[in-house]
Structure 1
C-alpha cells in the first residue's frame, strides 16, 4: 500500500497559525510555544513548520533542535529532509546533526544536538546563539528538571540537573523557543525546566500555567488522536504468573502471584524474578507467535511467498530490563527462527558498536523484523511497522511506559487500512502496570508534586522508584535477591478505552513517511569518504607509476596538500559545498603537482624536498626497473 497524501493535523495547523501570527507581528509578545502532543501525533514536524516560517520571515536566523538521545538526531534531520513535507510546506530549510566541532551549521540553516552534547561544551553552543538569532527547539523537555524543585529544596547534582544548567543559558539567549513533550509531569515529582507554574489544587502541588503571559500552548491528546485516526487503539495482553526467589538473607520466598488488585510487598521482587526466569520466556513466546502470525497473514493477503521480505508486514519490539537479560532474550528469539533467518533478529543497546545502524535498519528496511533493546528505542523511535511490543521491563513510571507502548501505536501506511491495524502489547499482569493503564485512561498529568515518601522495609534498593529514572541499560542487577524460577499462569486481553479529552497525554503515530532526501550528515559522511578515496587513489597511482617516493606518509602528505588548496580547511570542517568543490578539484588536478604548497611546514617539509629532488631509478638494459627478475637465458 502506498503512503496516502499528507495533510496537517489540528495541532500542527495550530502551531502553523501561531508562528504565522508571530511572523506577521500579530503575536510579538509570544516567545515560548509549548506543544504537549501525544506520542505519534506528528510532533517531529512542528520544528520544521516553525523554522520554515520564522526563518523565511526573518524573525529567526537559524534553528537548533535539541534531542534527548543521539539515536534521534538522524530522525530529526530526516524531518527537515522529507521531500513530501518540503513540497507541502514549500520550504528549503536544511539542518545537520552536529558534533561539538567548529562551525556547527556548516552553511546550513541550523543544527541538531543532544542534551549531552550541550552539557559537554556549553560555551561552544552559547557563542553560536550569541552570533545569530536562534529558534531553540527542546524535544522531550520533561527530561529536564527545574533547578529548584517544587518544595524549594535544591536538587542533587544528578545528570539531568547538569543538562538543565547547561541548557538554561541557551533558553535565555534564544530569540524564540519551541518546547515539545507528551507529558507535563515527571516521575520524581519535580517541576520541568522553564515551564511556568502556579499553585495547584493542594498547597504542596504546582501545575503548569497554561495561560502564562508570553506563552502559547498547543495540546493534542490521545483521545483527540484516536478520534482523528492518528494513532492506533491498543490491545493489552496481560500475562499472570508466579515466582520464587531467595531474599537478602538467603531465605526462600514464594511462590507468589504477580496479579493482585493492589501492590503488595512481594509485587516488585516477583516481577524482578519473572523477567529473568521462565515467565519471561513464556511472555516472549506469546509476543513472538503473535508477530509471526501477523506477518504470515499479511503475506497471504498480498500473495507473497512465505520467506519474502517486504515493508508493512509488522515488527516486534522487545524491551528488556537490562543488557545481560537482553542478550539472553536475543539468543532465545534466534533459537525460534530458522538458522538462515537469525539475522532478522537484532539487538540495539548502548554497548553495541553497531546499535545506531541496527536502529536505522529496523526503522527503514524490511529487516530486521525483531529488535531487542533496553532503553535506546523506547522513546522517539519512528518505526511505524512496530505492531507488537513485549514489555519485559520492571520500570513502572507512567511517562516511560507511555513512550514504550507508543512504539506500536503509529499507523503503518504500508499495512493496509486503519481499521485492520491494532497495537498489541504483552506485559506482566502486575497491579503496578494495571495502575499505569488506569492512569493512562483517566488522569490529566499536569501536576508537579513531591513524591510520596516510601517506607524503608527490608527490600533491596532496586525496589525504590528511582530505578525507573536511572541507568536503564546497566548490565549488573541492582537487586539483593536471587531469582529462582517463575512460570506463566493465564493470559488476558484488554482493549485500552479512549481516555478523556485531555491535552497532556501520550501514545504514538506520525503522518505516513514518504521519500526522504539524504540528511546533511549522511551527505557529509559520503562526500568525506569519497574525497578520502580519491586522495588515496592518487597516492597509490603515483607510487605505482614511480612518480613519488614510496612510504606510508604519502597519503597524509596528499591530504595536507588538499587542505592547503581548500583554504586550510580539513575534510572534517568542510561544508557540503566545500566537499563537493574538493571532489571537483581532484577530478581536474593531480596532488603531486602541488606538493610545493607544503614548503615551510616543518611537518611536511622533508616530504616536499624529497618529492622535488626525487627521480625514478634508472632502468636496466632490458627496459625494466632495477630489482625486477631477469628473463631466463635463451628467451
Structure 2
C-alpha cells in the first residue's frame, strides 16, 4: 500500500491469536503509510480505558522506533477538544466515542485518517432482535451505531481481533461476510473486494516461538447446594463431581465450587506454583528471597464477580505476612478507584506479583510476566477462555530463554472447559479430531455456543477438590521442527524495556504538574517579598493570568505548548501581567479589596 502496489485496498483485517503481537500492527501501518503520505492521522480505538496507555507505549517503544525508523507519537485522549494535540493521532475508547461521536467524526473528516479498531468483535452489527435486551447488548449496540460513521469516513481501516467471533453468534460490524441464512454460522469473505486479510494462528505463533505452550492444571472436585432459594423444605443436592459429565449438574456445581472450599483449594495450587516458580528463578539468579526483580513470574486470578474477587484477595493476603501481602497482592475491578494504576504497576513493575480481577485484565492486557493463571470463572465461551489463557502465553524478555518458560493455567475440571481444551488441541495439531469438521482458519474459527448465565436460585453449601491432573498442549513434530530454529527475541536488550520513552499523555500530565507548581511558587514568592498584596487566592489569579497569556487552558495545550509555557515562566513573572485581568468581573471585587488592604498596610508602615 505504501508503494502504491495495492491501490484497491482500503480495509485490512488482522485476525491474530491472543499474544501474537497484533498491537504492533498499528505502529507498522502508521510508520509506513504516514511516511508515504497515504494518511495524515491515526485514530486507534480500544475496548477499555486500561488499554489506552499500552497503545501509547508501543508507539513510544525505543526499539520499535529504531527497527521501523519512525518518530510518530500518539496520545491517550478522552472527549476534550483537539484530541491529537499536534501529534500523529490519538487513542480513545468505544465508550468515549459513544459519548461524543460527533467530536471524533469531525477529527476523522479533518484529515486523511487511518482508523484502527482494536478487538473489533466487540461491535456487533446492530440487530434489534438479537441480544439487545441485556445491558451488555444495549451497550454494544450503542458502540456500533457510534462507530459506523467513523468507519465510513476513514480513509483506511485496520480492524484487529484476537478472537474473530462473538459468543452470541452475531455478525461483526464492518466485516465482509458470505451471504448465508440467518440460522447459519456467519463466515467471513476473505476475498471481498478492497480487503486484505492477515491470519496469524496459535499454531503459527507456537512454531515461531511467539507464544508459549500451555500446561493446564485441571482440578476436579465435589459440590453440594440447595435449589429453589431458601424456602423451607428444600432438599440438599449433591455432592456431585465437577468432572462427572452430567450436564444438568455442571452449572450449579461450578457455581457452588467458585464460592466455597473448592475455590480455596484451586487458589492454593496456583499460589503454590507461583511461589515455587519465583523461588526457583531467584535461586537460579543467586538472589536473596526478599529481593524483587523483573521476570520472576506473576499470578493472575480471574474471579466470577467482584464480591468473590474481594474474598479471594483476602484469602491470598492471609497466606503471607501483612506488609508483603499489601505490596504483592492487589485488586483491579471496575469499582476500585486505583484499578488503572494497579494494572499499570502489575504490568511494568516487579511488584505486585499477584493480581485479582474479574474482567478488566482478561483481554488485551500486555503483562508478559504472568506465568500462572487461576481461572476461577464460570464463563465458558471460547473467545473469553482463549483471551484469558493468553495472558500467560506471552514470552517474557526478563525470564530467560524461551525453553525455560511455560504458561500454567489452573481451572475447574468440568466438561465445558474440557471441551474447550479439546478443540484447542485439535486446532493446534496436538490431538486427532474425532470427527471431520469444516476447515478452520484464523479468519473463520470454529464457534462454540455455550450459555454463560449462572444458575438461578442456587444456594452454595460446600465443595472441595478431589484430584489434580496436568495436561500440556504441545506442538506437533512439524511444529517442533520449525521451532528448533533459534528464536527471534522480542527484546534484544532486556534493559531497554526499562528505558521506554514516556507515553505522551504521561508527559503531558507531568508538564501540567510542573506548570502548576511553578505558578504556585511565583505566587508564594511574590507574597513573601511583599511585591503583591497578601490575601485571596493568588495562585488562582496567576493561573488565570497564564491562561490569558497562552490563549488557552493548561488542559488544552499540546506537548510543544506546555514546554514553551514552562520556558516562558523561567524568565517571566506573572505579576507583571495582572493587567490582563482588568475588566474581568470575576476578579473585580477581589482586586478592589486587595488594593484597599495593600494601601492601608503600606500607609501605616
Q: TM-score, normalised by structure 2?
A: 0.90
Is 1:285 aligned to 2:244, yes or no?
Answer: no
Q: Which among 171, 192, 196 is matched to residue 151 of structure 2?
A: 171
Q: As a proportion of its length, which structure holds more helix?
A: 2
Specify whether residues 30 and 578 from structure 1 end up closer, same or farther in structure 2 by C-alpha distance, changes over 3 A only: same
Distance 1:114 1:619 in 2: 57
Q: Distance in 1 between matches of 2:409 and 2:340?
A: 24
Q: Aligned runs of 1:369-448 on 2, under 5 Å? A: 369-442=353-426, 444=440
Give the secondary structure class of the aligned counterpart of 1:125: helix
Match of 1:5? none
Structure 1 segment 338-357 matched on structure 2, within 5 A: 338-342=321-325, 343-357=327-341
* 1:480 to partner: Cα distance: 2.0
- The answer to whether the 8 A contact 2:534-2:594 is kept is no
User: Could you list the per-position Cα deviations for residues 333-387 of structure 1 after superposition, in whole angstroms to 9, with x for gaps in the alignment?
Assistant: 1111122311111111111111111111110100000110111111111111100
Which one of 246, 266, 273 corresponds to residue 226 of structure 2?
A: 246
2:115 corresponds to 1:129: no
User: For the structure 1 residues 564 and 90, does the alpha-carbon distance in structure 2 shift closer, same or farther, using more than 3 Å as the test?
Assistant: same
Q: Root-mean-square deviation (CA), in Å?
A: 2.5
Q: Which residue of 1 aligns with 2:173?
A: 193
Supply the distance in 1 between the matched residues of 2:79 and 2:489 (Cα, whole angstroms). 30
Tell me which residue corresponds to 2:465: 488
Residue 363 (str. 1) matches residue 342 (str. 2):
no
In the alignment, does 2:86 pair up with 1:102?
Answer: no
Task: Give the SS at the match of 1:378.
Answer: coil
CA distance in 2, matches of 1:271, 1:510: 40
Q: Of residues 62, 66, 71 in structure 2, which corresponds to 1:92?
A: 71
Distance change >3 Å, CA 499–CA 525, structure 1 → 2: farther
Which residue matches 1:334? 317
CA contact (8 A) 1:205 1:448 kept: no
Instruction: Say yes or no: does 1:45 pair with 2:46.
Output: no
Report SS of the residue matched to 2:397.
coil
* CA distance in structure 2 between the aligned counterparts of 1:204 and 1:410, rounded to whole angstroms: 34
1:551-597 deviation per Cα after TM superposition (whole angstroms, max 9, x unaligned): 34322111110001102x00010011111111111111111111100
Shift of residue 450 of structure 1?
10
CA distance in 1, matches of 2:240, 2:410: 20
Q: d(CA) in 2 for partners of 1:130 and 1:551?
A: 49
Equivalenced residue count is 571
Match of 2:83, SS state, is coil
CA offset digits 1:598-626 (Å, max 9, x no partner): 11211123344556666366579xxxx98
Alignment gaps of 5+ in structure 1: 1-21, 453-463, 468-476, 503-508, 627-635
Aligned partners of 1:199 and 1:205 also within 8 Å: no
Within the alignment, does 1:63 sit opposite 2:42 as a pair?
yes
The 2-side partners of 1:425 and 1:542 are apart by 62
The range that moved more, 511-520 or 396-405, is 511-520
8 Å contact kept, 1:442–1:499: no
Per mean C-alpha deviation after superposition, the further-off stretch among 511-520 and 135-144 is: 511-520
Structure 2 unpaired stretches of 5+: 428-439, 480-487
Structure 1 residues 362 and 147, CA gap change in structure 2 (3 angstroms): same
Distance in 2, matches of 1:158 and 1:74, equals 27
Counterpart of 1:14?
Answer: none
- Alpha-carbon spacing, 1:203–1:352, altered in 2? closer, same or farther (3 Å): closer
Distance in 2 between the 1:193 and 1:560 partners? 46
Corresponding residue for residue 550 of structure 2: 566
